């Protein structure tokens, strides 16, 4: 008899963004003429930067001739891309990361989801609340979380991110083994200072723990004082794996290219306390289960680091930050409190009522899709996330409609 992995039965309903898409499409079906503006899922709307498109085309052209055609590439990514990443994203900022510590992949969602495979199922996990649901759900699937009771999984240590702590969780009062952090944060848009990030690195060192650091929104940081990478922090190389993506940085959500940094100095332990290189384990996993990102896509990603590409990417990110500034301005004028939107594309709004109710109101009356906070965890109750990924015109009309609807209440 074929049997299932019963941990799947512990998952809560469907994946958040699928649930929202279903609700929106059911509403649209009933109201086909109602204009809907999507500020829900963080999906980019603007074209790839011209430098990336040009390199993408060249990559495709090379595939069209026997002399330049390429079959399987290195699973870890082509050296031309890994070298550019190491140089531009790390070494230029004083972070000691080498090209062979970089693993190119098709997305940070998959990498953050897959990384937990390297660890024992009885380790103690610390996961922020609210959180990008992938970290939690993949650990549920793997059987690390225990049962769901009273809105939370029994075996997880939740790191509450609330107005009281500026949406940056406090250090755990007890020892944990694996810690998920994401800055600039999804969903709150909060950022972390160097000093606070250093306390997390020190905590991990003291507890022989590992930090999985999701920096997918790093390109949105405009405040020079903020760290863009955990490897800018002393000791980070020993205790952290970092995830980065071209999705939000350069509009690659549909093109698919990201990378994960696993420093060679990062270790984990077996049952007898012996040290093992996480780089070696991840390399084994990656080369067994993944066949690399396509050559033209890696050429397109490489162009992000060309002189023209750098300028175009900055302009692209500035465009979305302009939307975020407009959302902040309008929500403030309406009397809401919020965090994010300055060094992040997300604005986390205290909606002063039930979040799903507010989500429904904005969808059905204003035609604006947001993301209800409870979808990211218990601490998300009373909040909604507004994404700045859309055209400026759409964001402007979404804000006008919200103003009308709330003004009429």
Question: Residue 200: which of 244, 226, 228, 168 has the closest Cα?
Answer: 168
State whether residue 190 is helix, strand or coil: coil
Min dist CB 241 to ligand MLT, Å, is 18
Each residue 160-189 as x (binds ligand MLT by CB under 6 A) or -, in order, gives --------------------------x---
Residue 267 binds ligand MLT, judged by CB under 6 A = no
Report yes or no: 282 and 288 within 8 Å, Cβ to Cβ.
Answer: no
Residue nearest ligand MLT, CB atom distance: 42
Would you state the structure tokens that stand for residue 134, as one six-digit string? 């992938």
Identify which of residues 55 and 182 has a Cβ nearer to ligand MLT in the complex.
182
Between CA 54 and CA 309 the distance in angstroms is 10
Min dist CB 186 to ligand MLT, Å, is 5
Between CA 348 and CA 341 the distance in angstroms is 8
Identify which of residues 133 and 236 has a Cβ nearer to ligand MLT in the complex.
133
Min dist CB 246 to ligand MLT, Å, is 12
Identify which of residues 90 and 132 has a Cβ nearer to ligand MLT in the complex.
132
Report yes or no: 278 and 118 within 8 Å, Cβ to Cβ.
Answer: yes
Q: How far is CA 310 from the centre of its chain?
A: 21
Between CA 294 and CA 274 the distance in angstroms is 37
Identify which of residues 189 and 236 has a Cβ nearer to ligand MLT in the complex.
189
Question: Residue 139: which of 167, 164, 162, 120 has the closest Cα?
Answer: 120
Identify which of residues 60 and 110 has a Cβ nearer to ligand MLT in the complex.
110
Identify which of residues 58 and 381 has a Cβ nearer to ligand MLT in the complex.
381
Each residue 223-262 as x (binds ligand MLT by CB under 6 A) or -, in order, gives ----------------------------------------
Each residue 73-112 as x (binds ligand MLT by CB under 6 A) or -, in order, gives ------------------------------------x---
Bridge partners (DSSP) of residue 302 are none
Cα angle, residue 317 at apex, residues 315 and 161 outer, rounded to 5°: 160
Task: Give how many residues touch ligand MLT by CB under 6 A.
Answer: 6
Min dist CB 37 to ligand MLT, Å, is 15
Cα angle, residue 118 at apex, residues 116 and 122 outer, rounded to 5°: 70
For the chain, helix, strand, coil in percent to 5 are: 45, 15, 40
Min dist CB 308 to ligand MLT, Å, is 26
Residue 37: enclosing H or E segment and its boundaries? strand 37-38
The helix-helix angle for 295-302 and 50-63 (nearest 10°) equals 150
Each residue 18-57 as x (binds ligand MLT by CB under 6 A) or -, in order, gives -----------------------xxx--------------
Identify which of residues 59 and 187 has a Cβ nearer to ligand MLT in the complex.
187
Question: According to CB under 6 A, which residues from 106 to 125 bind ligand MLT?
Answer: 109
Min dist CB 282 to ligand MLT, Å, is 20
Between CA 340 and CA 319 the distance in angstroms is 16
Min dist CB 361 to ligand MLT, Å, is 20
Between CA 306 and CA 325 the distance in angstroms is 28
Residue 377 φ/ψ, nearest 5 degrees: 135, 170
Min dist CB 401 to ligand MLT, Å, is 21
Report yes or no: 179 and 192 within 8 Å, Cβ to Cβ.
Answer: no
**Residues present in the chain in total:** 409
Min dist CB 371 to ligand MLT, Å, is 7
Min dist CB 83 to ligand MLT, Å, is 26
Give residue 273's region: left, alpha or beta (phi > 0; psi -120 to 50): left
Which parts of this chain interact with ligand MLT (CB under 6 A)? 41-43, 109, 132, 186
């Amino acid at each position: 008899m074929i049997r299932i992995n019963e941990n799947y039965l512990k998952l809560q309903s469907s994946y958040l963004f699928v649930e929202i898409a279903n609700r929106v499409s059911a509403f649209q079906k009933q109201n086909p003429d109602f204009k809907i503006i999507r500020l829900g899922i963080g999906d980019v709307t603007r074209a790839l930067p011209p430098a990336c498109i040009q390199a993408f085309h060249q990559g495709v052209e090379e595939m069209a001739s026997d002399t330049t055609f390429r079959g399987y590439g290195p699973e870890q990514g082509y050296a031309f891309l890994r070298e550019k990443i190491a140089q531009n994203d790390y070494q230029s900022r004083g972070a000691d990361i080498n090209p062979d510590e970089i693993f190119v992949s098709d997305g940070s969602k998959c990498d953050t989801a897959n990384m937990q495979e390297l660890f024992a199922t009885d380790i103690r996990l610390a996961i922020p609340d609210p959180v990008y649901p992938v970290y939690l759900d993949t650990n549920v699937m793997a059987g690390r979380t225990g049962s769901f009771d009273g809105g939370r999984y029994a075996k997880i240590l939740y790191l509450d991110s609330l107005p009281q702590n500026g949406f940056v969780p406090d250090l755990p009062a007890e020892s944990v083994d694996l810690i998920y952090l994401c800055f600039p944060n999804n969903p709150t848009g909060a950022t972390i200072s160097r000093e606070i990030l250093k306390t997390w690195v020190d905590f991990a060192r003291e507890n022989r723990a590992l930090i999985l650091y999701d920096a997918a929104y790093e390109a949105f940081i405009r405040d020079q004082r903020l760290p863009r990478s955990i490897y800018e922090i002393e000791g980070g190389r020993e205790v952290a794996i970092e995830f980065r993506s071209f999705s939000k940085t350069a509009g690659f959500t549909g093109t698919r290219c990201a990378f994960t940094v696993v420093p060679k100095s990062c270790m984990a332990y077996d049952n007898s306390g012996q040290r093992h290189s996480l780089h070696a384990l991840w390399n084994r996993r990656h080369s067994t289960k993944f066949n690399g990102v396509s050559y033209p896509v890696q050429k397109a990603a490489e162009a992000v680091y060309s002189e023209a590409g750098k300028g175009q990417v900055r302009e692209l990110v500035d465009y979305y930050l302009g939307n975020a500034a407009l959302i902040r301005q309008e929500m403030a004028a309406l009397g809401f409190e919020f965090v994010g939107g300055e060094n992040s594309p997300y604005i986390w709004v205290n909606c002063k009522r039930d979040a799903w109710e507010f989500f429904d109101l904005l969808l059905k009356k204003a035609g604006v899709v947001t993301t209800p906070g409870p979808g990211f965890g218990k601490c998300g109750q009373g909040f909604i996330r507004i994404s700045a990924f859309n055209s400026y015109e759409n964001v402007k009309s979404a804000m006008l409609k919200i103003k009308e609807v709330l003004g009429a209440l």
